[in-house]
Amino acid sequence: MMKPRTRWTMRLATGALLFGSVVSVCAGQISLTTAVDLALKNDPRVKMAHASVTKARAVLDEARDVYIPNVGIKGGYGASTGVPLSVPVVFSLASESLLFNFSQRDNVRAANDGLKSAQLALLDAQQQTTEDAVETYLNLDNVEQREQAMQQEGGYAGRLVMIVQERLDAGQDTRMDLLKARRTAAQIKLAVLNNEDEIAGLREHLGRLLGMPGAQLETVKESIPALPAANTLSATQVESPGVQSSFAAALSKQEQAFGASRYSYRPQVAFEANYSRITTTQTNYTLYYPGFAGQHSDNALAVGIEISIPIFDYEHRAHARESEADAVRAIAEAENNRIQFLEGRSKLQRNVEELSAKREIADLDREIAQEQLNTILIQLNSSSSGGSATLTPKDEQSARLQERQRYVDMLTAEQELNQAEIGLMRQNGALADWLAKAIQASPASNTRP
């Protein structure tokens, strides 16, 4: 018989295994290309755009299929008395279709342009999702690096407080020095908490974007290819799919308006066919129509062509004016989208150049701080070897704090620059080429628990 202690130990082991399996699912490293691929499959924006394409394709099929004869059958049986209200049909088989309509050809063109607009909108949604996934991934990688640097910075700040406290006890520092050191440590603690909040928010957003809510995702730095230099991201004349989609939608409305304006005073030709089975057994049909009581057939067949010419139809005239107004508005809206896109891209181009210069300054500040730290360490080593003691451990910790802070500042400037470069690459159509380098650098299925 198993002892109670042994059973308790096995329960703990089983619980640990189950917990470990849950953690392996909810926490893991994921490559950049895998993140983008999952985002394109699970982002609601892409799903909505796919549904719009499906709907636009169905609208185009609907516009074309009016030329295909439809077939339907209906029937019923009952008794009547008195004056016949209709021909006593047991069942009928009917078919009809449109043969010619001046407006329908324009409706087909409008539906085709609508499909192009939906396809371009899908491409734009995919690019937006890609940008969102890449930007979130790079930001998460950046703040993870900042977290490590801030933890080191917090350690240096804690040691600095201890050193200043000792110097205060020895009468070498003042209480003001201690308060400044403690304030520095408190500031670093607050920065660490803010950075942890940013990491949590980025992980939550990336998880939801990838269809993995609650997953504690971590980046794989090796899967991120180097971003191109800022001076190589020159603006081109390529328009975004969103702008092209708006112009395609405007063209679709123009075709609809043109078709609606050609409705009146133009013939419309339709095909009609009908077969009916008739019975008069439960009606007074022969009493009121004696000619039917003689030689006749219970089968009725009709085939013909119907031609109609609308003359006075104020409803369609008003609809034509409405369609024309929609087309004018759509064109103006597309032009406005183009202006906003070009102005936004020019502004982003200038912003990238400014952020690149800001990042260069931050990098130089970090190198200067590193050189100052190296100098202090050399002087401290020299004093410990018998040289003149001009520096103290307090100076060392202050220099280490300064170097880590400059490193965090450099990472922050790099994050801002990366965001702007990713946005500019999407607007220039270069984001896909950059991601292709990521695919070559690492397998797309790179996910490690």
The packing angle between helices 102-169 and 241-261, to 10°, is 150
Domain ranges, ordered by start, for the chain:
27-437
Q: How far is CA 77 from CA 74, 276, 345, in A?
A: 11, 13, 71
Read off the amino acid at residue 266: R
| Structure confidence by residue, pLDDT tens digits, 281-317 | 888 877 788 877 766 678 889 999 999 998 888 888 8
The tens digit of pLDDT for each residue in 321-344 reads 999 999 999 999 999 999 999 999
What pLDDT is attached to residue 184? 93
Give the DSSP per-residue string, 330-391: HHHHHHHHHHHHHHHHHHHHHHHHHHHHHHHHHHHHHHHHHHHHHHHHHHHHHHHTTS----
Q: What are phi and psi of 13, to 5 degrees?
A: -65, -40
Q: What is the DSSP letter of 92?
A: E
Cβ–Cβ under 8 Å, residues 346 and 251: no
Tens of pLDDT along 194-241?
A: 999 999 999 999 999 999 887 888 899 888 988 888 778 766 657 889
CATH homologous superfamily of 27-437 equals Outer membrane efflux proteins (OEP) (1.20.1600.10)
Break the chain down into helix, strand, coil percent, rounded to 5. Answer: 70, 10, 20
Predicted confidence (pLDDT) per residue in 57-83, tens digit: 999 999 999 999 999 998 888 788 878
**Token pair listed for 340:** 């906003």
CB 406 within 8 A of CB 365: yes
